[in-house]
Amino acid sequence: VNNRTPLIAGNWKMNLDHLQAVAFVQKLHWTLKDAKHEDGTVEVAVFPPFTDLRSVQTLIDADRIPFAFGAQDVSANDSGAYTGEISGAFLAKLDARYVIIGHSERREYHAESDEVVAAKTRAALKHGLVPVICVGETAEDLEEFGASAVPAGQLEAALAGLPANADIVVAYEPVWAIGSGQAATPQQAQDVCAVLRGVIAKTVGEEAAARTRILYGGSVKAANIAAFMREPDVDGALVGGASLVVDEFASIVRYQK
């Protein structure tokens, strides 16, 4: 038993323009009426593309929709000559609560190193955003080093030197499970999440380790969410593909342990 509020987070990736985003959030809200997120038992967050954020914020604010939202990336810099980048200050001004950092697609297609991930984590915290730090091993890593060595190393690099009160979320996303339809087993997820909690304890502190939510991500769907949520060190899910289907995502939010 712990007092971490489960977090069900939808990473839309590069899907849904701002008009589609508004329609989606309205429909999701309507589908989830009276679900357990309404009383704060579960937190729901959506991560739309940058161009949708203002529209999503306006809708959530106007209709008092109990969803948090965040961005999928943030610049390591505050402002200035960084063409194409988005400052954490801008996201904070939009009332974004979260920002995903170091998703495997950013690490792979944009060559984001552990150093970049650490810098972006600091930028997020500086602007009052909660970084959702993504770590995970590839199939080759799994074969060569086992499941936990690479994600533990990535997390240690991201967290080194953070203050004991840092408010973060960690997402364990085995790369081989993302978008593949082949989720990790609940036991595999639990084993790595427990190791990651140990990394938080070592780098940030015991209190942070006890309160930080660690999410599992990788082919989560309505049919497997409950089994993950029964694991003691899994505090929620980062959902890709299934977060784009209203009924499926709503069913994930409504999981019953």
Report the catalytic residues.
103, 173
Q: Is residue 113 marked as binding? A: no
The Cα–Cα gap between 34 and 111 comes to 42
The Cα–Cα gap between 58 and 15 comes to 19
Give min distance, CB of 46 to ligand PEP, in A: 13
Judged by CB under 6 A, does residue 241 bind ligand PEP? yes
Q: How far apart are the first and last CA of the chain?
A: 13
| Stated length of the chain | 257
SS3 69: strand
Of the pair 118, 238, the CB lying nearest ligand PEP is at 238
Q: Is residue 77 marked as binding? A: no
Give min distance, CB of 89 to ligand PEP, in A: 25
Judged by CB under 6 A, does residue 72 bind ligand PEP? no
Judged by CB under 6 A, does residue 217 bind ligand PEP? yes
Nearest residue to ligand PEP, by Cβ distance, number only: 240
Give min distance, CB of 64 to ligand PEP, in A: 28
Query: Do residues 31 and 246 touch, judged by C-beta distance below 8 A?
Result: yes
- H or E element: which one contains 125? helix 114-126
Q: Is residue 240 marked as binding? A: yes
CA angle 229, 230, 235 (to 5 degrees): 40
Of the pair 59, 132, the CB lying nearest ligand PEP is at 132
Count of C-beta atoms within a 10 Å radius of residue 61: 10
Give min distance, CB of 165 to ligand PEP, in A: 27
Q: Which stretch binds ligand PEP (CB under 6 A): 28-36, 112-120, 153-161, 212-220?
A: 212-220
Interface mask toward ligand PEP for 81-120; x: CB under 6 A? ----------------------------------------
Give min distance, CB of 58 to ligand PEP, in A: 26
The Cα–Cα gap between 63 and 66 comes to 9
**In the chain, where does DSSP find H-type helix?**
18-31, 53-62, 88-93, 104-109, 114-126, 139-145, 149-159, 186-203, 206-211, 225-229, 246-253
Per CB under 6 A, which of residues 161..180 are in contact with ligand PEP? Answer: 173, 178-179
Judged by CB under 6 A, does residue 135 bind ligand PEP? no
Q: Which of 72, 219, 224, 251 binds ligand PEP (CB under 6 A)?
A: 219
The Cα–Cα gap between 89 and 132 comes to 17
Query: Do residues 196 and 170 touch, judged by C-beta distance below 8 A?
Result: yes
Q: Which stretch binds ligand PEP (CB under 6 A): 27-35, 115-123, 143-151, 218-226?
A: 218-226
Q: Which of 10, 70, 218, 236 binds ligand PEP (CB under 6 A)?
A: 218
CA angle 61, 68, 172 (to 5 degrees): 165
Amino acid at 252: I
Output the known binding site for substrate. Answer: 11-13, 179, 219, 240-241
